[in-house]
Amino acid sequence: MTRPAAVWPDAAAAFYAACLDRSDYAATVGRALRQALAPATTLLDIGAGSGLLGRAMLQPGGRWTAVEPNAHMRGRLAGAAGVVRPRVIDAAWESLPQLARHDVVLCANIPGPIDRPRMLLQVCRPLARRAVAWVVPAQPGPRGPCLAGLLPAHLHGEDETPGVDLTLAALPSDERPDQRIDVDWTFRALFADQAAARRYFTDQYGDRLGDDRALDAVLAPHLKAVAGGLQAEARKRSAILIWTASGETDR
């Protein structure tokens, strides 16, 4: 099967999943989703990742279909102990197999809402009985590596427009979401030591970050000694965008 360029290497996916496990993402964003939409009896989770939000959104005993193109994430979805396990499909949203309709279609932190929102919405809407929900980055800052916001703009060199602004700007007025909910949370990464933290950033940005001493000076205020190493925290904001079949949410 041909893979779109956006599919992560397994090592990057594993790092991201471990960071989300340390973060309050599932608790905060998951709670906001449940408050906005009743838990789903059937959930189609496109770009499911490790399944944190899918588990938060699924009604006990419900049916969960998880679409995930990354092998590491599919392994986490299939191997999680003590929780409901989804039907896992190896595909990207651009090449979905034929699927039945589900109560809720969820897309969280995948490129589609920013890169091609109209096309993704055309894929999602026919598959949703009750609602489509997207979770899109909303904080001002870089949209590349998850910790890029710890660097000053002249070092990361990325556009800092909030992703949700790009999503909404690309949608005509009759395709705008029925509801938007902004949620603040904290992304947390654990590094074994200073060298490991430095290596994360140089792997992403290379020589533009300067020598080791200069990079260490930039990172020092953001690294906190914890059990197991050094923890870095980045403040995040997610926008939950909801489209409902009836024009109303279920609350």
Overall pTM surpassing 0.85 (yes/no): yes
pLDDT tens digit sequence for 63-117: 999 999 999 999 999 887 666 789 999 999 999 999 999 999 999 999 999 999 9
Secondary structure string (H, E, C) spanning the chain: CCCCCCCCCHHHHHHHHHHHHHCCHHHHHHHHHHHHCCCEEEEEEECCCCCHHHHHHEEEEEEEEEECCCHHHHHHHHHCCCCCCCEEECCCHHHCCCCCCEEEEEEECCCHHHHCHHHHHHHHHHHEEEEEEEEEECCCCCCCCCCHHHCCHHHHCCCCCCHHHHHHHCCCHHHCCCEEEEEEEEEEEEECCHHHHHHHHHHHHHHHHCCHHHHHHHHHHHEEEECCEEEEEEEEEEEEEEEECCCCCCC
Q: Place 223 in a pLDDT band, splitting at 50, 70 and 90.
A: very high
Please give the domain boundaries of the chain with CATH numbers for all domains: 10-187+237-244 (3.40.50.150)
